[in-house]
Amino acid sequence: MSEADVIVVGAGHNSLVAAAYLAVAGYRVKVLEGRERPGGDTCTEELTLPGVLHDSCSSAHNLIQSNPLIRDNELRLDAYGLEYLFPEPAYVFTLPDGESITMHRDVERTAAEIARHSPRDAAAYRELLADWEKLRPLQARERGQAPLPPEELDALWRSGPLGVEALRLRAASALQVIEERFEHPHVRAFMAWTAMLTLEPVDRPFTGLLAFSLVAGRQQHSWTTPRGGSFALPAALIRRIEAHGGEVECGAWVERILVEGGRAAGVVTRDGRTFRARVGVLSSQHVTQLPGALGEHLDDGSRRALSRWRAGLTMFVSHYALAEAPRYRTHGGDTLAVAMGVLDSIDALHAQLAAFRRGRVHTDRPYLLCVASTVVDRTRAPQGMHTLKVIGIQPYDLAEGPQRWDEIKDEVSEALLETYLSRTVNLTRRHILAKHVESPLDLERRNPNNFRGSCHGGDVSPDQSGWLRPAAGWAGYRTPVPGLYLTGACTHPGGSVSGMPGRNAARAMLADLGVAWDEVLARAAARA
């Protein structure tokens, strides 16, 4: 179909979430994806060997567990093939002296791991989780709707049981919170590693709540793993969209948004095709594309604001096909785990971040996040084979320019692998059957929404979040062009597999169309 009620640009999970709610509400949706396959950064591919399925980007679907979409099963995605696994242990955290901390699904078992290092820190851990129970409903309200103006946001956080202390915790850096509450260097490193999982620099003001939310989220939902691969989420959403007469078309790169009579009326693709929208356009294009896509329909102030957009921390990713499952060196012997963390100390973290900010490659005592999904999901590889993803933090911009990555990425990958192997009890290079490396530059090549290698839409700094995301006057999923709506990681509350920008954008659009949200949910429940 070249005409639909709503044209949706991009088939990442956020725009698919929005499209699914719109389809359930009775609108005919057409999703146009520029690449040859849908899913964006929620994709699963044979990157190394035939039959070995790697999550090329995201693996852990943790943040989406607290989205009503999954928490309340609003779209019944289980009936469309989506199943989540909640591994035990959630992950292990290893240290160079052979010590470790394992996060178990059971809080008391995790606390016992921490108590081996410091009984006082074990008590602080329980207290942190208890404090988060008081803060969590406030965060759910902040994230689960269009961003609030600053004064309303402050009032929301002050209204909770911690009162004004909640404002202080929000404004602090996560490292400050960790150093205030925990004493042992190993425990501090464990907490800081976890607080960095969404790749926000934890030494920066306004990251304080990450010290609570990411730790408590893992404690509650483990290392949530979609059976079959990260693509299981977009696959289920596409089935739901198609069940309501919607369509997803790949290989359709949207170059221009049509504006007629002052309203968004459709899009034009790179190959010259026009797709008309009777009701509106919902786009997950990266915000840096919008000036080009809207041309003269964008005012100068908006053009300037959108072009100021900054990328955030960037990842360096090595994928391996292994001949054996990794077993990690932990206090209690060797352990099989879906995920393993490396961060030697808070000093090592400062060194990693300092190198990043100077545009330098850093492989000495690195921050590493290592995921072997096949340990809990045997559907992803032939018998006896396993997948491994080793993620580090490296800058996109090198002194010699980003193109330099093509020359040095193998060397950098080898150096990080050395650290990784030293934390396993059983793996050597002989167990590696094949590998595939993606530098920050490659991540941008695979998906232009990984702007300058940034994999969470872009920095979630105070000037690029909430009421100011993606830009002043553009928050709330609506744009200055009537009928044009935005979603995706560049919109509130930002990146990760949370589905929140998608659900919130659908709510904003449907509210403007006069459709009651309760009715949409009732329709979704009635037709699973």
Neighbours of 480 (CB within 10 A): 13
CB of 454 to ligand FAD, least distance (A): 9
Is residue 23 classed as helix, strand or coil in its secondary structure? helix
Q: Which two tokens stand for residue 152?
A: 């309303």
Q: What is the CA radius of gyration of the chain?
A: 22
CB of 235 to ligand FAD, least distance (A): 14
CB of 233 to ligand FAD, least distance (A): 9
| Measured CA angle at 231 (ends 41, 251), to 5 deg | 65
DSSP percent split of the chain into helix, strand, coil, nearest 5: 40, 20, 40
Which residues, including other chains, have CB under 8 Å from residue 178's CB and lie 6 or more apart? Answer: 188, 191, 192, 195, 202, 211
Q: Which C-beta is closer to ligand FAD: that of 61 or that of 386?
A: 61
CB of 221 to ligand FAD, least distance (A): 12
Number of H helices, E strands in the chain: 17, 20
Q: Rounded distance, CA 297 to CA 195, Å?
A: 41
CB of 435 to ligand FAD, least distance (A): 15
Q: Rounded distance, CA 174 to CA 177, Å?
A: 5
Q: Which C-beta is closer to ligand FAD: that of 139 or that of 284?
A: 284
CB of 343 to ligand FAD, least distance (A): 17
Residue 493 and residue 500 in contact, taking contact as beta carbons nearer than 8 Å: yes
CB-based burial label for 421 (10 Å; 0-12, 13-18, 19+): middle
Q: Which C-beta is closer to ligand FAD: that of 174 or that of 489?
A: 489
Q: Which C-beta is closer to ligand FAD: that of 11 or that of 298?
A: 11
Q: Rounded distance, CA 439 to CA 447, Å?
A: 13
CB of 35 to ligand FAD, least distance (A): 4
Binding site for ligand FAD (CB under 6 A): 9-15, 32-35, 40-42, 57-60, 63, 253-254, 284-285, 289, 315, 317, 443, 447-450, 455-456, 488-489, 495-497
Q: Which C-beta is closer to ligand FAD: that of 176 or that of 498?
A: 498
Neighbours of 204 (CB within 10 A): 16
CB of 448 to ligand FAD, least distance (A): 6
Residue 42 and residue 13 in contact, taking contact as beta carbons nearer than 8 Å: yes
Residue 78 and residue 213 in contact, taking contact as beta carbons nearer than 8 Å: no
Is residue 367 classed as helix, strand or coil in its secondary structure? coil
Residue 2 and residue 22 in contact, taking contact as beta carbons nearer than 8 Å: no
Q: Rounded distance, CA 164 to CA 429, Å?
A: 53
CB of 389 to ligand FAD, least distance (A): 8
Q: Which C-beta is closer to ligand FAD: that of 36 or that of 97?
A: 36
Q: Which C-beta is closer to ligand FAD: that of 40 or that of 476?
A: 40
Q: Which C-beta is closer to ligand FAD: that of 17 or that of 355?
A: 17
Q: Which C-beta is closer to ligand FAD: that of 114 or that of 321?
A: 321
